[in-house]
């Protein structure tokens, strides 16, 4: 006799944690379509020529990808952390160079300013940054301090309604743009959130292009990967920054920084997922088509190991990142250790998957046209940027010692 259908069995729809709603699925399709049709055709050439494709970046703005987590009332898409993950995964499936520019602009500046700024600052800075008309970034790292972020030397000293900000910031994504039609001249992007010491505490300020004393120190060329994004050293020489450009209260920004790093690390983990998935797709297809000794190479055990391990590690990373994205509430911190762990795992996973893909493709994999060569170079960055592997080891171990119950 058949059991009567219960309410649960009658209405059960399999839950798709990677596309938990119709809106997420639509977003994935839209971004993937954008990646295939518009991003992919330029990805190799932009990487080779170290060209930041501003028109394409602005197109990402038109699609709402530069302010995905900002409420619609402020011009954003009003979506959640899962949407930010979907977007980063799909863009980086094609072009992590464009992906890191979108991350630096949309997560490190736009989301940060929305979260930590006041309404007057939102009204001043968001309209032109959510569209991409103005190019933005975040300045945390310095020539002498990266991991040791609290050791920063940049200082802001208050003088009435102005702070005088002095220091240098290193490795800043979106740090410069070509100026002028004929090229050859370069200048800073339009606005940056800059972390600086005010006494013993850290505060953050929006520094805008054209402020006296703010300049492009050096363009940092010849990166290993992600060459379609710009990276620069920026110089601040007694820059008069109005009090109205300080985010939050003086000394508040260690909290801002930690809170924003959670979303940053989650999005970087999603970038790794996108690169790994593309490499897996390519190696899987190639191994079914390429023959050696009269057989497809996927009939050989060693090639099977490359493919099977890559798939397994990718799926573990994917499950972790999406489960975490589902838990994260954008207005509340509380997932520091898990976001460190997700980035720690996925960074090395993507690097290894790209490496195996190159191995499976043999000589063809060693050339740019294979795509895996470009992703192999790009994947390494995530073991360094946004926190090195060692920084994640340190943070996770410290947090676990404090909260052993988190293991359960
Ligand atoms: C392409 C690119 C884009 C970037 N974009 C930005 C950006 O937009 N904005 C921004 O602010 N920064 C940016 N960065 C900087 C990036 O976040 C830093 O490079 C990173 O945090 C590491 O800092 P560091 O390079 O100074 O290395 P260091 O901190 O000097 O580290 C050097 C080595 O020492 C290790 N180490 C340091 N401290 C410890 C410790 N306590 N225990 C064990 N090992 C340790 C590190 O893990 C590493 O292996 C970018 C970097 C790159 C390469």
Write down the domain spans for the chain: 22-130, 136-253, 254-407
* Ligand 1 proximity of 193 Cβ (cutoff 6 Å): no
What number does the ligand 1 atom closest to the CA of 175 have?
Answer: 8
> Residues 89, 233, 264, 383: which is the catalytic one?
264
For residue 14, what pLDDT is reported?
80
* Ligand 1 proximity of 112 Cβ (cutoff 6 Å): no
The CATH number assigned to the domain with range 22-130 reads: 1.10.540.10
In angstroms, the CA 155 to CA 163 distance is 9
**Could you read off the pLDDT of 194-222 as tens digits, one per residue?**
999 999 999 999 999 999 999 999 999 99
Is 264 a residue of the active site? yes
The class of domain 136-253 in CATH terms is mainly beta
For residue 13, what pLDDT is reported?
72
Residue 271 backbone zone (phi > 0: left; psi -120 to 50: alpha; other: beta): alpha
For residue 408, what pLDDT is reported?
86
How far, in Å, are 12, 13, 169, 196, 264 from residue 7 at the CA level? 8, 12, 59, 57, 40
The CATH number assigned to the domain with range 254-407 reads: 1.20.140.10
Is the Cα dihedral 106, 108, 114, 115 positive or negative?
Answer: positive
Within 10 Å of residue 108's Cβ, how many Cβ atoms? 26
For residue 6, what pLDDT is reported?
53
Within 10 Å of residue 59's Cβ, how many Cβ atoms? 16
For residue 184, what pLDDT is reported?
73
**Alpha carbon nearest to ligand 1 atom 16, residue:** 385
CA of 173 to the centre of ligand 1 (A): 13
Are 234 and 169 spatial neighbours (Cβ–Cβ below 8 Å)?
yes
* Ligand 1 proximity of 171 Cβ (cutoff 6 Å): yes
* Ligand 1 proximity of 175 Cβ (cutoff 6 Å): no
* Ligand 1 proximity of 189 Cβ (cutoff 6 Å): no
CA of 335 to the centre of ligand 1 (A): 21
For residue 3, what pLDDT is reported?
52
CA of 1 to the centre of ligand 1 (A): 65
For residue 4, what pLDDT is reported?
52
Residue ranges in the chain whose pLDDT is less than 70: 1-11, 180-183
């Amino acid at each position: 006799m058949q059991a009567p259908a219960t309410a649960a069995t009658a209405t059960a729809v399999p839950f798709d944690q990677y596309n938990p709603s119709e809106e997420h699925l639509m977003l994935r399709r839209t971004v993937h379509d954008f990646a295939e049709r518009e991003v992919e055709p330029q990805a190799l050439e932009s990487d080779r020529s170290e060209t930041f494709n501003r028109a394409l970046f602005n197109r990402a703005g038109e699609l709402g990808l530069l302010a995905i987590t900002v409420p619609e009332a402020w011009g954003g898409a009003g979506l959640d952390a899962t949407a930010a993950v979907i977007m980063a995964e799909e863009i980086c499936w094609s072009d992590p160079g464009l992906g890191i520019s979108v991350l630096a602009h949309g997560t490190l500046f736009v989301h940060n300013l929305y979260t930590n700024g006041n309404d007057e600052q939102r009204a001043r800075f968001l309209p032109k940054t959510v569209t991409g008309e103005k190019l933005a970034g975040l300045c945390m790292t310095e020539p002498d301090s990266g991991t040791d972020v609290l050791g920063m030397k940049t200082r802001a000293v208050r003088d009435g309604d102005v702070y005088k900000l002095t220091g240098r910031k290193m490795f800043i994504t979106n740090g410069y743009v070509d100026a002028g039609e004929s090229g050859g001249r370069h200048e800073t992007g339009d606005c940056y959130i800059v972390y600086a010491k005010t006494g013993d505490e850290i505060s953050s300020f929006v520094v805008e292009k054209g402020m006296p004393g703010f300049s492009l120190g050096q363009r940092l060329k010849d990166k290993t990967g992600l060459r379609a994004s710009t990276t620069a050293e920026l110089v601040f020489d007694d820059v008069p920054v109005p009090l109205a450009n300080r985010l939050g209260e003086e000394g508040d920004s260690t909290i801002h920084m930690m809170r924003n790093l959670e979303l940053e690390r989650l999005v970087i983990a999603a970038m790794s997922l996108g690169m790994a998935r593309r490499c897996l797709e390519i190696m899987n297809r190639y191994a079914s088509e390429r023959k050696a000794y009269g057989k497809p190479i996927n009939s050989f055990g060693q090639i099977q190991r490359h493919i099977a391990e890559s798939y397994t590690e990718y799926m573990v990373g994917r499950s972790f990142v999406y489960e975490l994205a589902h838990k994260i509430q954008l207005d509340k911190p509380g997932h520091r250790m898990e976001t460190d762990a997700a980035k720690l795992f996925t960074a090395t996973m993507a690097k290894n998957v790209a490496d195996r893909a190159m191995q499976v493709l043999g000589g063809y994999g060693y050339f740019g046209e294979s795509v895996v060569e470009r992703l192999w170079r790009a994947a390494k960055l995530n073991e360094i940027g946004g926190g090195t592997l060692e920084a994640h080891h340190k943070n996770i171990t410290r947090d676990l010692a404090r909260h052993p119950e988190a293991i359960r």
